[in-house]
Chain A
């Protein structure tokens, strides 16, 4: 590959020349946008909304749940809205280009579904004051950008109640992705839920350093089971942990969506994320011109999280406990994080009698008492 003549590069220029020529020929016919719902002539044009997904729609987990929510909102609102989505967008410089392109293309609402999209979205939001920006799990807000987040730790708490009663070894396992507050809340809620029915509970945590690496999730599950854990929960996105539990005759839960069919013997329930309610509300806010900035944190009460499909072999009194907790969440009488909360080093993180507010929840960087080990790289 060493002898080549220099004008060869010209050949590549031909690609561009060809592209340019076609461009001239086609200028007359701009690309027809293909909205999901075709506008009928008499009605007002549908509200254009776009979704930016961090993973593929086919991940059967996090992004899948978002897309199910999008579809649900579309089903409710019909031809009043026209939605598009862009999947597999990396958290980084590409995101800003994609969000800007979607804003330029005339979308009036844009949803970005990952924390790492926040900076990009904030930059674009500044340049498009007429477009509404919605950022999942973020914290940055402005006049036309707001954030939303489900209280998924409620699901983890409910799972904990079942886990605390179904364990024989009193050791629970958690497969974690990254030690951020959202995930630490889930670990803590899972543990507190279990301790509410069984004070002897210990939780072991293994971090896989990824939201998505099914073989490694399997390995993590195996490790936890070998370490005596017999009920597992994960906040990674695949069914791998559940399937490994099934294989080794242990118990586990579904996460993000209903995973009961993957492990009929191991599955003790699924913690659901139901984004659809929020998407419907957000779109309605824009349609009804009632959109206001802010932070939405919804849970079981608002229908954004749920814990479903508890199998028949779980004793009735355990189910009753879960139902009671659900009723408490619905009525607002149950606070999952309520003082006194002591962390694994014995320090009081929330004083007696206090209930956690959103600020406290956003700053959870510790394990509660009963979780073994230390949060990685925590100060």
Chain B
């Protein structure tokens, strides 16, 4: 029982960076923008967060710096794809390339440095519960923050006017434009917010999860977050579930290994992606389901007045 609780705890911690970045990309994609630069943004944020944490000693400032770095990177990307109408995929990939080079370049001085670690306290009282305490309540506060964030994004998307406008822009930018909404500005805001969340995820990795900076340390998690948005059919709650599922599959592989069970890790790693394709197929078969689930203008450039 305790083993299972530990596995759950580890899964939550592993899923959190994916949930944060995925939530950001979900906001992006809800507005119709697909950002393939996520990995690069996370790297830039990881080094910005680490550098800030190293200089100031404050975990909070480090996370804020990471979010800010992600937001700045995303703003450049957003300006290019929204105002200059560059292709989203090519620009995103260029941002990824730039981000990995830039983070490595500015991070040279921070390699092999150590952050002061704050002890993780968890939730008072609840942390002492049997089993559940171990599984759920001895985590870093960012892990609960990610859950709250999912709630916040869901509330924003489905319960506020802003969310409605954002979704309608993702659905049909020209219709939203015709109604008089500033499509480009709103899209830019969505991209910047998305970048900030990717940044938060990057900083979480380098400041809290594995407190160190080395080149390329995000190691593909930005790409997994991109896959997750689809898996979650652009729903915040499902995103959270998907992130924990992906994190759980990784942890389970390691657990099975430690338990001496042989499974080809490649097939287990493949499963979430195949599942994502399956989800996509299921929601796409029925036009109504697509309309309910998928932003129709995803990846398409919007030209006002055309």
* A contact set with B: CB distance below 8 Å: 1, 55-56, 58-60, 64, 173, 204-210, 212-220, 222-224, 226-227, 238-240, 243-244, 246-247, 261-262, 372-374, 376-377
Contacts and interface: CB of A to CB of B under 8 A. Distances in A.
Contact of A223 (B108, B254, B264): B254
Contact of A373 (B212, B218, B251, B260): B260
B212 A239 contact: yes
B258 A374 contact: no
Interface in B103-134: 104, 107-108, 111-112, 114, 117
A238 B212 contact: yes
Interface string B258-272: 111110110000000
Contacts of A55: 215
B219 A227 contact: no
A194 to B, nearest CB: 17
A247 B117 contact: yes
A59 B17 CA distance: 22
Contacts of A247: 117
A356 to B, nearest CB: 26
B111 to A, nearest CB: 4
Shortest 9 CB-CB contacts between residues of A and residues of B: A373-B260, A58-B111, A226-B6, A223-B254, A60-B112, A213-B219, A214-B210, A227-B258, A218-B210
Nearest to B251: A219
Contact of B258 (A59, A204, A217, A238): A204
Contact of B205 (A208, A212, A215): A215
A223 B251 contact: yes
Contacts of A214: 205, 210, 212, 214, 217, 219
B209 interface: yes
Contact of B214 (A60, A207, A209, A223): A60
Among B10, B14, B112: residue with most chain A CB under 10 A: B112
A136 B261 CA distance: 33
B259 to A, nearest CB: 7
B221 interface: yes
Given A1-B87, A262-B114, A224 B258 contact: yes
> Chain B, interface size: which category?
35 or more
Interface string B196-221: 00000000010001111011111101
Contact of A215 (B104, B114, B209, B259): B209
B255 interface: yes
B236 to A, nearest CB: 23
Nearest to A224: B258
B257 interface: yes
Contacts of B114: 261-262
B257 A373 contact: yes
Interface of B: 3, 6-7, 10, 13-14, 17, 87, 104, 107-108, 111-112, 114, 117, 205, 209-212, 214-219, 221, 250-251, 254-255, 257-262, 264-265, 301
B219 A215 contact: yes
A210 B219 contact: yes
Nearest to B265: A209
Contacts of B265: 207, 209, 376
Given A212-B216, A226-B7, A373-B260, 9 more contacts: A207-B257, A210-B219, A214-B210, A214-B219, A215-B221, A223-B254, A223-B258, A224-B258, A376-B262
A243 B210 CA distance: 8
Contacts of A1: 87, 301
Contacts of A244: 210
Contacts of A376: 262, 265
A162 B255 CA distance: 26
A173 B3 CA distance: 16
A206 B257 contact: yes
B260 A372 contact: yes
A56 B262 CA distance: 33
A226 B3 contact: yes
A223 B217 contact: no
A15 B13 CA distance: 49
Given A219-B10, A220-B254, A374 B262 contact: yes
Contacts of A218: 209-210
A340 B217 CA distance: 42
Contacts of B262: 373-374, 376
A227 B259 contact: yes
A227 B219 CA distance: 25
Nearest to A246: B117
Nearest to B3: A226
Contacts of B209: 215, 218
24 contacts: A1-B87, A56-B216, A58-B214, A60-B111, A64-B112, A204-B260, A208-B254, A212-B216, A214-B219, A215-B14, A215-B205, A215-B209, A215-B219, A216-B219, A217-B210, A220-B254, A222-B13, A223-B255, A227-B255, A238-B210, A240-B212, A243-B212, A373-B257, A373-B262
Contacts of A208: 254
Nearest to B10: A222
Nearest to B108: A58
A163 B10 CA distance: 25
Contacts of B212: 60, 214, 238-240, 243, 262
Contacts of A220: 254
